[in-house]
Amino acid sequence: MDTPDAAPLDLIIFGGTGDLAWRKLLPALYMAHLHGSLGERHRIVGLGRHDWSRRQYVEFVDRMSRPVVEPAAMQPLHWQDFLRRLDYVQLDATQPEGFERLKGACQPDGAKVFYLATAPSLFTAITARLHEAGLVDARSRVVLEKPLGHDLASARAINEAVARHFEERQIYRIDHYLGKETVQNLMVLRFGNAIYEPMWRTPYVRSVQITVAETVGVGTRAGFYDGTGAMRDMVQNHLLQLLCIVAMEPPISLDADDVRDEKLKVLRSLRRLGPAQLRHDTVRGQYTAGTVDGQPVPGYQQEDGVPAGSRTETFVALRAHIDNARWAGVPFYLRTGKRMPRRQSEIIVEFTQPPFSIFAGQSGMEQANRLVITLQPEESIRLQMMAKEPGSGMRMRPVFLNLDLQSAFTERRAEAYERLLIDVVRGRLTHFMRRDELEAAWKWADPILQGWAETNDAPKPYPAGSWGPPAASALVARENVLWSEAQ
């Protein structure tokens, strides 16, 4: 599936005038162009409903995407070279005429990558139209943006529709969290260092926390978000994928299917949460008016486009268990929310205390060792250990051993979308979800969503700028655990 740099390739973006395209995809492709990751005959074709010429589309990209690129990377000559790669085709995904125009705009002997940066409701029509127009062949690839469905049944329907025209090896279900440098480094940390493997399990691990916190509200996405909520938007995909990488067994190789086989085993081992467990092990929240970064912000129900009385959750915290020999009895705490105090994504592996401590009664606070893997806003890996304070006596305090990735590697660190787009161009599937992975995640998430719908309880309120409802702290406190910001 790899396309040599010298071979022609068209990267075709459905939704080429949308926010995702000009905010993320096109700047990422420019960075790939700048650093020589795109071949000379690799072109980018934006698709949209606007009756635009190529020149008008180029002007649009120049106006919208240029300010998004890092100032240090904006080199005018390279930017103009990048803009020369662009083409535009007017296309309505529900009408066949545009697909014939698209066919005429493609390089005759080139491979084609179709990036579906559209609503998932259009995936079925787009893939069928591509097939009817003769645009799909053995070298074609299709990239599917999340969310892939709103439950198991709809996810299966999308997968089946796409599979009528593309083989599984041609389908790239993208989750940009899997493109983050530190997430991919976690594989090396776990499986490339012998010191971790013996204790990466029960009884040496006490608990695992995975947090993805956002300071933003729903913004202009209220229409989409109110029908989705935090569970579908973040937990079912981003957080479960992070959990899989933390918890998976060593794959036999880095082959895409070998890695994804092990992730699938984790998803199949997740304990299902029935009605009794939902009240005990899950917390739903919804932000109210408050202050974030020193600025007053409205509550969720005061946001434009949110219906009065909405019960959509903007916060989820839950306790999960993996029923296998490695993780038996170890709780995994997952948490995500909007309008939190700071933007933060991190994984914390907390190890158990020694069975007997000779330091009991000594001054200072003895704390458990913790491996803290920060994904954003800055990527880092730190190991918290206990050390003696200078001076007489044996007073202790926690200190960090810092895996200084910034100093150790002076090379530029590509952003997640750039890395994943190059993986697509080069035919690398390891960091993309396979169909059975996606469906296994929905099998676990569906009963939680159904249980919440049946109880019809309102989400617990929490002020914007806080770490969520008090019930989220109580969820972990029952096992004498604290969320990271309270430690």
Q: Between β-strands 282-288 and 205-213, what pairing exists: parallel, antiparallel or unpaired?
A: unpaired
- By C-alpha distance, which of 148, 151, 175, 150 is closest to 163? 148
**Separation of alpha carbons 445 and 231, rounded Å:** 8
- By C-alpha distance, which of 212, 187, 190 is closest to 200? 190
Structure tokens at 453: 């719908």
Residue 274 CA: distances (Å) to CA of 23, 200, 210, 241, 446: 40, 28, 22, 22, 11
Q: List, in order, residues 6 or more apart from 187 with CB less than 8 Å away.
A: 245, 259
- Only one residue has tokens 């899997």, namely 178
- Catalytically active residues are 238
- Only one residue has tokens 């480094």, namely 185
Side-by-side strand order, sheet with 380-388: 396-403, 380-388, 370-376, 344-351, 205-213, 331-337, 315-321, 282-288, 460-463
Kindly state the greatest CA–CA separation across the chain: 82
**Separation of alpha carbons 240 and 224, rounded Å:** 21
Which amino acid type is present at position 427? Answer: G
Q: If you write DSSP's letter for every residue of 12-71 in order, what string do you get?
A: EEETTTSHHIIIIIHHHHHHHHHTT-S-TTEEEEEEESS---HHHHHHHHHHHHGGGS-G
- Only one residue has tokens 């202009």, namely 220
Q: List, in order, residues 6 or more apart from 390 with CB less than 8 Å away.
A: none
**H/E segment holding residue 103:** helix 97-105
**H/E segment holding residue 244:** helix 240-247
